[in-house]
Structure 1
Amino acid sequence: MASAVPAQVQSNPAPAPQLQRGIVKTVLSGCAVIVRGQPRGGPPPERQINLSNIRAGALARRAIQGQPDTKDTPDEPWAFQAREFLRKKVIGKEVCFTVENKTPQGREYGIVFLGKDTSGENIAESLVAEGLATVRREGIRGNNPDQVRLCDLEDQAKAAKKGQWSEGGGSHTIRDLKYTIENPRNFVDSLHQKPVNAIIEHVRDGSMLRALLLPDYYLVTVMLSGIKCPTFKREADGSETPEPFAAEAKFFTESRLLQRDVQIILESCPNQIILGTILHPNGNITELLLKEGFARCVDWSMAVYTQGAEKLRAAERSAKERKVRIWKDYVAPTANLDQKDRQFVAKVMQVVNADAIVVKLNSGEHKTIHLSSIRPPRLEGEEKNKDKDKRFRPLYDIPYMFEAREFLRKKLIGKKVNVTVDYIRAATSAMETGGVPAFPERTCATVTIGGINIAEALVSKGLATVIRYRQDDDQRSSHYDELLAAEARAIKNGKGLHSKKEVPIHRVADISGHTFFFTFVTSKYNWNNVMHYMSTMFVCAGIECPRGSRNMPGGMQVAEPYSEEATIFTKELVLQREVEVEVESMDKAGNFIGWLHIESVNLSVALVENALSKVHFTAERSSYYKTLLSAEETARQRKEKLWANYEEKPKEEVAQFTEEKERVAKYRAVYVTEITDGLHFYAQDVETGTKLESLMESMRGEIAAQPPVEGSFAPRRGDFCIAKFADGEWYRARVEKVESPAKVHVFYIDYGNREILSSTRLAALPPAFSTRTLPPQATEYTFAFIQVPQDEDARADAVDSVVRDIQNKQCLLNMEYSGAVCPHVTLQFADSKDDVGLGLVKEGLVMVDVRKEKHLHKMVTEYLNGQESAKSARLNIWRYGDFRDDDADEFGYRR
């Protein structure tokens, strides 16, 4: 307000008073206001204007603290009503005024008009007309029309008995002001966090205000919940020094709330300080202060903020990003990271501790991630480690540490999670940590899975605590308030670390190096409420992996090729997973030797299949020997990793070996369950049919007794499960592909058919009915000695014929030779013993695949004779006329 400055002393005769303008900041009483100018780079100048020629009652005053000779003085009658009349009319509005008189003490008297010019309402006249002020008649000059009008208005108010001229004296207008509250905490609690009407009477700084609570006239100091503005520091000499932006923050709050009608939610009263939130029709001042960079969030009072702590964090984050005011020099904790490094999806490979995991990035890199702002369980009373020789404590010795890690392991291991990096904790040297060994750089992040914040889940179960930070420490979780709220719930409910119950005890027996005789192995058992565990070394049977580097008496032994790859493969497959083991024997060191299974995958077989191990001769006596040999042969053919330099035996040797064999006709009964479009078929051994029927009956009985929860199964490729078929019954199946929850491709392992189902029709396979109890009963075969037509119509005719003749029927099957996909067999009808494949040849539905092996010569000749018969009769694919074999194309048609 450039014009709101002390009036210039002019020489006589004095000119007419100059018209000046400003904004009403405060109404001091019914006859005095403070007018401010427009801000120009900071709080504007202001001046007090007393209304000329009138007087309103004096407001109550509190005794001066520390001066016993002073005492509280109450309101004069109608004083508060006059102040309120004037406050509601002019506060925060533009007025114009003239200064008519200035006393030697500097007090200015003048006339105030509402609006930009003198055509607006005369404030003094309005007060007098309502009987809320009296006219100072002494010194009135009869030639002054303004003064004469005031006298006339007063006479009219008296005649109408308005305001202080009414009967009764006005004692009922005196407030019962309450400057203190006997028990502030009970007072706040009694309001149940309901909004209370109030008038803001004074602004101490941007976040601390004095409010008059209505209608009971409690005068209280309120600190805004969740934030803190820069303050004015009181010096030893009594003066005040403003912190940076303190004056601006104060003006920001004053210009919006001072002497405004507001609602206050009184939220808490710790240490006699009332915390609250002030609500105004134009907005929440707490959020506005944060958004404009006039305040920062405060953890200790954020917990009681009832309007949503996330709104305050978002407002503060906005100010930080824009670097406004107190955040002008702000540097984000992740400012040096690219977006792809701040947020990414990764697979959890290992749970290191209750607050640290190892994840695998899309690039294949492994990275350790620490959960932001939480601390894993510690021994009670444990202080920071200042002893360099302090021994490592296993997690079983620390209460709830085992439970915390187990919680993470079961929730995360092997699953994909969303990682949002909150900050990078710089490495610390031994000097910085008071002699403690240095910590390397840590990537601290918020990790979520399925929308669940893992750190918050840990804290809510009492399996971790929340780290408290200095107020200026910005390196914290982006969901810090949720963590604090979760910890408060855990404390209230007595969960985990906050429980008063007896701490669980875990006893671990290391049985490595000991000799035992047993029929089964258990990893955990409960005895007198103490959990007992066994720990041992386990050696995979039947394979020989490349050795890694190790210290030997003669020096460091160099690692064999692909040893590191084999180790990584095994870690990613089984580390911290729940597995099943078959123990066959022990080595000289007392280590168990056997077979390890994870989700129906045999680790030994998996290593061999991936060319990271070779079959050991000791596998010959195992039931997995053939599977291992088949896996090794497949790996050899790919010529990768361990088999990169593999040389096949000369074909002459193979042919000679083959010629020495004789065809073995050993037919067995099978039941054909499915025919594919490529003329492959699936069959069950009749011999094991009763086992399958028994298993299905038991499985369906268990499912009927305990139906699976719909939608609880999350299918993954390769998972074994149970699937509800169109007949409403459940069958064992394997997931082959997951397009979406509504489109899951499954293969029925006991029947050979495939189907696309919704995940709601799938459920976990009960362990009692796994493939280890009974292997998949549907085996894939194809017909020996025949070629399937490439033409779609011709192939469909052949398939239709086979479906009509053998599907869902019992036949006799004989293995003839192996194939790249499945065994090639001959199939006979159970009653007539006629060869099914030969019948297809004779009907002209397929062509003959001529095999060169000598022991198959008789069978091939019989098939070729049948083909010649079909040609002569011009059946099906031969119906276009006579021609030689070399004159036919791949479809069986003449060129």
Structure 2
Amino acid sequence: MTTSQPTKQRTLVKQVLSGDTVIVWGQPRNGPPAEKTITLANIAVPKLGRRATPKGGEETKDEPFAWEAREFLRKKLVGQEVLVKYDKSAERNNRVYGCILLGKDENTAENMTNLLVSEGFASVRRENARQATELTQLIELEDAAKAAKKGKWGANPQDHVRNPKKIDNLRQFCDKHERKPFQAIIEHVRDGSTVRVYLLPDFYSITLMISGIRCPTIKLDQDGNPNPADDVPYSKEARYFVESRLLQRDVEIVLESVSNNNFVGSIVHPKGNIAEILLKEGLAKCVDWSMALVHGGPEKLRAAERFAKEHKVRLWKDWSPSTNNSLTAVKEKEFTGTVTEIVSADALMVELPDGSSKKIFLASIRPPRLSEEKQPDDKQKRSRALYDIPWMFEAREFLRKNLIGKRVNVKVDYVMPASNNFPQKICCTVETNTGTNVAEAMVLKGFATVVKYRQDDDQRSSHYDELIAAEVKAQKSMRGIHAKKDIPTHRVQEVIGDVTKAKQFLPYLTRARKTEALVEFVASGSRLRLYVPKETCIITFLLAGINCPRGARPAPGGGPPVGGEAFGEEALNFTKRKVLQREVEIIVETMDKAGNYIGWLWIEGQNLSVSLVEAGFASVYVASDHSDYYRALTEAEESARKARLRRWKDYTEDKTEDDKAAEDDKVKERKENLIDVVVSEVTPELHFYVQRVEQGDTLTELTNKMRAEIDANPPLPGSYTPKKGEWCAAKFVDDQWYRAKVEKISGKEATVMYIDYGNRSIIPVANTAPLPSCFASEKPFAQEYVLAFVRLSNDEDYKNEAIAELRFLTGNGEVNVRLNEEFRVGGLPYAMLRNVDGEDIGRTMVAEGRVFASHRREVRFKELMEDYMAAEHEARRDHKNMWQYGDATEDDAKEFGHSR
């Protein structure tokens, strides 16, 4: 019987399956080489455990020293060139028995079989008598290992059994160990960008998707084997590329996220980043969604992909750069400017150094929007997107507060050409002077999302990866539009053009005196649209005290445009630069017949009406001579006239229409029509509430009936929840019920005004009840007035003394006085009060040095004003009360209308 000569083959070791089984391949030439499985002959090694399989295979544990045996071979052989000796005739399905020699010289090479036996990791199969020479040597090595108690022949073999751990919650595990490197071994390469890994030392078995890239995938059939019919170009090359470099290599794994029950992370190897190399070789493409997670940043990966594209390597062999001809039309690719308006949550108006304005969009981000099923059908509602779309208002406010009036640096990234009736968009990266990327800050706050592009679309933000990273952080912390609860809502009422609504809001706006507002739109130099946060309403606001020209504007009803007046456009631009989207303060005085509010507006302490007059855009309105700000207006107008500014360029001293109107006022006479009242309340502003004496019995009867009704049908505790602005029944300190209006709710307390008396109080919510409807139709019996021809001192002590004096002179609500309405300002009536002896209470307070005389220029008040000024002179001369130390007007600022 002849014995065949053993086959010898030099090859590379791909993978060690166990302590006695190795997969080898030949030297690669054109693509992945064929694989061959080699099992070491004549020995038996401990078996590794197996995982349970879907087909019913049960899970088994390692035998003692099985892992050490495999690791011994892995560290010796993987990636090394070896000499394999085996019997060719015994080969079955690329699996043979033989021996493996490590080393270039066969005579001095290390025999892996001998090494395993000598280290105590294998036992000899002694039944093979045909290889007596080899067996004799192996038996000697085995006996020596036993004598030395090496490996499996030592004590406590159960201490050398792996105990792999399982991960119950991938997300929690990732968050706990995020960015912390694990020592790991790559066990299997599914495709170029997906591997199975052992995390050491606890032997967690995980599937890892390499972050930032994706290789062509290898499609598997139902049995989990590669399907040649669905072969994806370059998929096998990519897998072989990774296998030849990382399979069963010691690496570090950095876990970064979780996707579809797989971990996403980076593989750290001393010889380089496999993701970067795959990209440079054209075997992978960048993936935007995980690019932000990449350990060490995405810049190198983007550069590697760009290199492959430019050299048209493999996946990019047919690539051609995308062009945007519109970008060439942009003269300046980088510029600086001042933000003048936030058009929307992703669009800004920037004023350039030459005075021109440019509309730009933040590149690669998308502002908040409604889902398809929540899109409103009503077109009118679409115009309220700022308030109706969750987070839209917050996004706009974030930009407004941080950018309006600030200089920014702009870099044009790409231009979206006009399409579908949408104009061309210049998309840019905008940075503040501190280097903050505005779009990135928006995304990080959860006020915008990042646009997802096609893989071959290069028209995107130059800081796209930073935007993706910001979005991932916002999603993790559930900020803004990523939040699942506490979604903001804005129930804003538009009072524009609605006279009925405007009348409802007028008392609150006039009583509040200075109110904070936000300028949403400027229609002309003196006409603005304001958002009033306190009342959650949008109003049209006209500047008081001035005549201001208007620019060209569309005609009502769609007719031909109305031509503009001289300096109308300039006045519009002046007001825009001053107040558009700025926080201002307003005083509402009155309302016109169209439902527009009229009053005064301040920006950073400057009265806008005065500023427009001072700049020569407006003139003083003749009927404003009774205003506290009339002196400031006339001084500003005189200054503009002398400088011949704008409308005063060709000014002559001819009489104007305003002068003629002022002369007409001289024919008017003051008349008194006194009514008997009781002053029921005096406010800290020297306003007072009165009840007509003739209505006293009616009020008493109504109040008694209301109390009887409530006593007969008492409200259940906790059944009534008062709302701001509604009428209710409320208890006073005397524990009696009165009609009241709810002004504020703070927790379990309500601020109410007793509408028939004018006084206010903070009471428990439990002390309120629904007002029976039959008592809600009667108008309030208390009417608010302002004491005419006087004003308070700015000193708090003198102010409190004056208020106390008015209460005393009016009998503390127990004595009848007589009232005469003199004029109105801002919808509020100003009145004179006389006591039962006919004395003017206001003049009495001036003569006592409690208040100043407030001068009125109307001719009909001339004699009265002379009397008041004489009374004030008398108090000053005698150093009465607030005049006791001399001039009491030193601290009264001119801009508040105090004209002494």
TM-score by length of structure 2 reads 0.55
2:620/2:637 contact within 8 Å kept = no
Q: 1:337 Cα shift?
A: 3.6
Aligned-partner residue type, residue 234 of structure 2? F
Q: 2-side partners of 1:290 and 1:489: how far apart?
A: 28
- Out of 394, 398, 406, the position equivalent to 1:407 is 398
SS at 2:219 equivalent: strand
Q: For residues 412-449 of structure 1, give each alpha carbon's deviation from its aligned partner in whole angstroms, at most 9, with x where no partner exists.
A: 111112334555555553xxxxxxxx544444444333
- Out of 529, 535, 539, the position equivalent to 1:535 is 539
Q: 2-side partners of 1:92 and 1:770: how far apart?
A: 89
Q: 2-side partners of 1:40 and 1:155: how far apart?
A: 42
- 1:255 pairs with 2:216: no
- 1:81 pairs with 2:68: yes
> Superposition pairs for residues 165-204 of structure 1, below 5 Å?
167=153, 172=158, 175-176=161-162, 195-204=181-190
Q: 1:203 Cα shift?
A: 1.0
- 1:23 pairs with 2:8: no
**1:838 aligned residue:** none
> Superposition pairs for residues 166-245 of structure 1, below 5 Å?
167=153, 172=158, 175-176=161-162, 195-225=181-211, 227-234=213-220, 239-240=227-228, 241-245=230-234
**1:130 aligned residue:** 119
- 1:548 pairs with 2:552: yes
- 1:350 pairs with 2:341: yes
Comparing 623-632 and 168-177, the one that deviates more: 168-177
Aligned-partner residue type, residue 235 of structure 2? A
1:505/1:530 contact within 8 Å kept = no
SS at 1:537 equivalent: strand
Comparing 231-240 and 596-605, the one that deviates more: 596-605
SS at 1:35 equivalent: strand
**2:576 aligned residue:** 571
SS at 1:414 equivalent: coil
Distance 1:595 1:292, change over 3 A: farther
Q: 1:259 Cα shift?
A: 0.8
SS at 1:203 equivalent: strand
Q: 2-side partners of 1:356 and 1:26: how far apart?
A: 57
The number of equivalent residue pairs is: 622
**2:876 aligned residue:** none
Aligned-partner residue type, residue 81 of structure 1? E
Q: 2-side partners of 1:289 and 1:277: how far apart?
A: 13
2:545/2:621 contact within 8 Å kept = no
1:542/1:604 contact within 8 Å kept = yes
**1:44 aligned residue:** 32
Q: 2-side partners of 1:600 and 1:461: how far apart?
A: 32
2:45/2:123 contact within 8 Å kept = no
2:7/2:87 contact within 8 Å kept = yes
Distance 1:333 1:129, change over 3 A: farther
Distance 1:369 1:486, change over 3 A: farther
> Superposition pairs for residues 434-449 of structure 1, below 5 Å?
439-449=422-432
- 1:483 pairs with 2:466: no
SS at 1:92 equivalent: coil
1:29/1:82 contact within 8 Å kept = yes
Q: 1-side partners of 2:621 and 2:490: how far apart?
A: 46
Q: 1:92 Cα shift?
A: 2.0
Distance 1:543 1:625, change over 3 A: same
Distance 1:107 1:547, change over 3 A: closer
Distance 1:581 1:321, change over 3 A: farther
Distance 1:133 1:290, change over 3 A: same
Q: 1:89 Cα shift?
A: 1.2
Q: 2-side partners of 1:242 and 1:387: how far apart?
A: 52
Instruction: Supply the RMSD in Å over aligned alpha carbons.
Output: 5.4
Q: 1-side partners of 2:415 and 2:208: how far apart?
A: 37
SS at 1:481 equivalent: helix
Q: For residues 126-178 of structure 1, give each alpha carbon's deviation from its aligned partner in whole angstroms, at most 9, with x where no partner exists.
A: 33443445667788889xxxx95774365144234267786469954874565
Q: For residues 98-120 of structure 1, give each alpha carbon's deviation from its aligned partner in whole angstroms, at most 9, with x where no partner exists.
A: 66645353545666443555476
1:179/1:220 contact within 8 Å kept = no
1:608/1:615 contact within 8 Å kept = yes
**1:749 aligned residue:** none
1:57/1:133 contact within 8 Å kept = yes
Q: 2-side partners of 1:76 and 1:629: how far apart?
A: 104
> Superposition pairs for residues 357-756 of structure 1, below 5 Å?
357-362=348-353, 364-372=355-363, 375-377=366-368, 383-384=374-375, 392-393=383-384, 395-398=386-389, 400-421=391-412, 424-425=415-416, 427=418, 429=420, 439-449=422-432, 450-458=434-442, 464-466=447-449, 469=452, 472=455, 475=460, 477-488=464-475, 491=478, 498-500=484-486, 503=489, 505-510=491-496, 522-524=514-516, 531-533=535-537, 535-539=539-543, 545=549, 547-548=551-552, 550-551=554-555, 555-557=560-562, 564-579=569-584, 598-599=603-604, 613=617, 623-625=632-634, 627-628=636-637, 630-631=639-640, 634=643
Q: 2-side partners of 1:97 and 1:360: how far apart?
A: 77
1:506/1:530 contact within 8 Å kept = no
> Superposition pairs for residues 43-82 of structure 1, below 5 Å?
43-48=31-36, 50=38, 54-57=42-45, 59-60=47-48, 62=50, 65-68=53-56, 71=58, 78-82=65-69
Aligned-partner residue type, residue 542 of structure 2? F
Q: 1:202 Cα shift?
A: 1.0
TM-score by length of structure 1 reads 0.56
Identity, in percent, stands at 39
Comparing 174-183 and 347-356, the one that deviates more: 174-183
Distance 1:300 1:208, change over 3 A: same
SS at 1:88 equivalent: helix
Q: 1:617 Cα shift?
A: 8.8
**1:854 aligned residue:** none
1:197/1:264 contact within 8 Å kept = yes
Q: 1:26 Cα shift?
A: 1.2
Distance 1:193 1:487, change over 3 A: closer
Unpaired segments ≥5 residues, structure 2: 519-531, 654-793, 796-890
SS at 1:234 equivalent: coil
1:263/1:280 contact within 8 Å kept = yes
> Superposition pairs for residues 322-337 of structure 1, below 5 Å?
322-323=308-309, 326=315, 329=319, 331=321, 337=327
**1:794 aligned residue:** none
SS at 2:374 equivalent: coil
Q: 1-side partners of 2:377 and 2:455: how far apart?
A: 26
Q: 1:47 Cα shift?
A: 3.4
**1:92 aligned residue:** 79
**1:814 aligned residue:** none
> Superposition pairs for residues 275-314 of structure 1, below 5 Å?
275-283=264-272, 285=274, 289=278, 294-296=283-285, 305=293, 307=295, 311-312=297-298
Q: 1:251 Cα shift?
A: 2.6
Q: For residues 817-859 of structure 1, give each alpha carbon's deviation from its aligned partner in whole angstroms, at most 9, with x where no partner exists.
A: xxxxxxxxxxxxxxxxxxxxxxxxxxxxxxxxxxxxxxxxxxx
Q: 1:576 Cα shift?
A: 1.7
Aligned-partner residue type, residue 411 of structure 1? N
Aligned-partner residue type, residue 219 of structure 2? K
**2:775 aligned residue:** none
Q: 1:232 Cα shift?
A: 1.3
Q: For residues 315-349 of structure 1, give each alpha carbon's deviation from its aligned partner in whole angstroms, at most 9, with x where no partner exists.
A: 23652465265566375697964698555433211
Aligned-partner residue type, residue 414 of structure 1? G
Q: 2-side partners of 1:165 and 1:393: how far apart?
A: 78
Q: 2-side partners of 1:634 and 1:269: how far apart?
A: 71
Distance 1:506 1:617, change over 3 A: closer
Unpaired segments ≥5 residues, structure 1: 1-11, 430-437, 650-693, 696-767, 776-895
